[in-house]
């Protein structure tokens, strides 16, 4: 066994330092979430002196807080389902057929991913007001389709192009109808692609705030918007704010944990 050069042996240091840099601010938030606001403001310590669960208790007992989480999860799931369902046949069409204007259509779809949400905030508000959809979950779910549908089509098209066309033809010869072939044979083949697409739709819908906040007032208000409520007459309640922040990180962390193997594989097989 050849001895490795010093640079190779020390290479683990680079990701380690980077991860420490990533985790420090998150640690600080977690640290704060276990402190009373008075302790946050009066003493400076690297860990809570009197650990308390009061902040979390506030959130789990107050409906206006925990409903924020429920609202966010409802519209994120709706958006993921709508985006992936609509994108599946379209991605199949783009990967298998040539048709009038296909290339232009594909680029036009991608341009919607480039549209700044700030541009759309006001017209969205007027459009959804006209349909009476303001403050409903479906409004936010539809608005997020703006950037998630093109992304889902883009990712799925990459995966589908990787499946040889002979599989389609064999299935037709065996007497499968198109819908049955698509659901029974094709979808299992691109399962990891669907997983990756769903992950990205979930991610971008979960983190978006500008549109979600513009389109909701009370009934469908996302948690991220609820957080701005902590500014009260008595000043900012830092402890509760930190606890709410920590709780918004958890669903994302869970999702990453479940798709961790797909991420690397998905990137490698898909568009990359």
Partner 1 sequence: MEKTWNNKAWFMVLPVLVLVAFSAVIPLMTVVNYSVQDTFGNNEFFWAGTDWYVQVLTSDRFWDALTRNLIFSAIILAIEIPLGIIIALNMPKKGLGVPVCLVLMALPLLIPWNVVGTIWQVFGRVDIGLLGRTLEGMGINYNYVQNPVAAWVTLIVMDVWHWTSLVVLLCYAGLVSIPDAYYQAAKIDGASRWSVFRYIQLPKMKRVLLIAFLLRFMDSFMIYTEPFVVTGGGPGNSTTFLSIDLVKTAIGQFDLGPAAALSIIYFLIILLLSWIFYTVMTTSDAQG
- Of residues 45 through 74, those in contact with partner 1 by CB under 8 A are 46
> Of 59, 116, 17, whose CA–CA distance to 242 is shortest?
59
Residue 228's contacts (CB-CB under 8 Å, 6 or more residues apart) are none
149 neighbors 83 (Cβ within 8 angstroms): yes
User: 224 to 253, contacts with partner 1 by CB under 8 A?
Assistant: 224, 227-228, 238, 241-242, 245, 248-249, 251-253
Residue 117's contacts (CB-CB under 8 Å, 6 or more residues apart) are 146, 147, 208, 210, 211
- CB of 93 vs partner 1, minimal distance in Å: 4
Q: How far apart are CA 190 and CA 159, in angstroms?
A: 6
Using alpha carbons only, what angle is made at residue 212 by residues 207 and 217, rounded to the nearest 5 degrees? 140
Write the binding mask 73 to 112 for partner 1: x where contact by CB under 8 A, - elsewhere. ---------x--xxx-xx-xxxxxxxxx-x--x-x-xxxx
Residue 202's contacts (CB-CB under 8 Å, 6 or more residues apart) are 76, 80, 255
- CB of 87 vs partner 1, minimal distance in Å: 6
Of 116 and 175, CB closest to partner 1: 116
**Does the footprint of partner 1 cover residue 267 (CB under 8 A)?**
yes
- Specify the length of the chain in residues: 272
Q: How far apart are CA 12 and CA 25, in angstroms?
A: 22
User: 145 to 164, contacts with partner 1 by CB under 8 A?
Assistant: 145-146, 149-150, 153, 161, 164
Give the torsion through C-alpha atoms of 253, 255, 257, 258, to 10 deg.
Answer: 170
Of 77 and 121, CB closest to partner 1: 121
39-47, 52-60, 185-193 -> range binding partner 1 (CB under 8 A): 39-47
- CB of 53 vs partner 1, minimal distance in Å: 19
Of 189 and 255, CB closest to partner 1: 255
**Does the footprint of partner 1 cover residue 169 (CB under 8 A)?**
no
- CB of 29 vs partner 1, minimal distance in Å: 5
- CB of 120 vs partner 1, minimal distance in Å: 5
Q: Coil, helix or strand for 236?
A: strand
**Does the footprint of partner 1 cover residue 19 (CB under 8 A)?**
yes
**Does the footprint of partner 1 cover residue 210 (CB under 8 A)?**
yes
């Amino acid at each position: 066994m050849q001895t490795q050069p010093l640079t190779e042996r020390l290479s683990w240091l680079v990701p380690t330092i980077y991860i420490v840099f990533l985790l420090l601010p998150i640690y600080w938030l977690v640290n704060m979430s276990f402190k009373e606001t008075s302790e946050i403001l009066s003493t400076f310590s690297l860990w809570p002196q009197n650990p308390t669960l009061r902040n979390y208790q506030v959130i789990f007992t107050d409906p206006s807080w925990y409903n924020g989480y429920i609202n966010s999860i409802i519209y994120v799931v709706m958006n993921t389902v709508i985006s992936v369902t609509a994108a599946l046949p379209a991605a199949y069409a783009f990967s298998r057929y040539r048709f009038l204007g296909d290339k232009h259509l594909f680029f036009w779809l991608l341009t919607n991913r480039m549209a700044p949400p700030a541009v759309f905030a006001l017209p969205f508000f007027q459009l959804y007001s006209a349909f009476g959809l303001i403050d409903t979950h479906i409004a936010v779910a539809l608005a997020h389709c703006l950037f998630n549908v093109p992304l889902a089509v883009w990712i799925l098209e990459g995966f589908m192009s990787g499946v040889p066309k002979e599989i389609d033809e064999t299935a037709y010869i065996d007497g499968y109808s198109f819908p049955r072939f698509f659901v029974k044979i094709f979808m299992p083949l691109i399962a990891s692609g669907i997983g990756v697409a769903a992950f990205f739709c979930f991610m971008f819908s979960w983190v978006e705030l500008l549109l979600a906040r513009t389109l909701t007032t009370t009934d469908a208000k996302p948690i991220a918007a609820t957080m701005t409520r902590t500014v009260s007459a008595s000043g900012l309640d830092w402890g509760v704010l930190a606890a709410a922040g920590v709780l918004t990180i958890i669903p994302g962390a869970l999702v990453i944990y479940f798709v961790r193997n797909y991420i690397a594989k998905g990137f490698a097989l898909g568009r990359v």
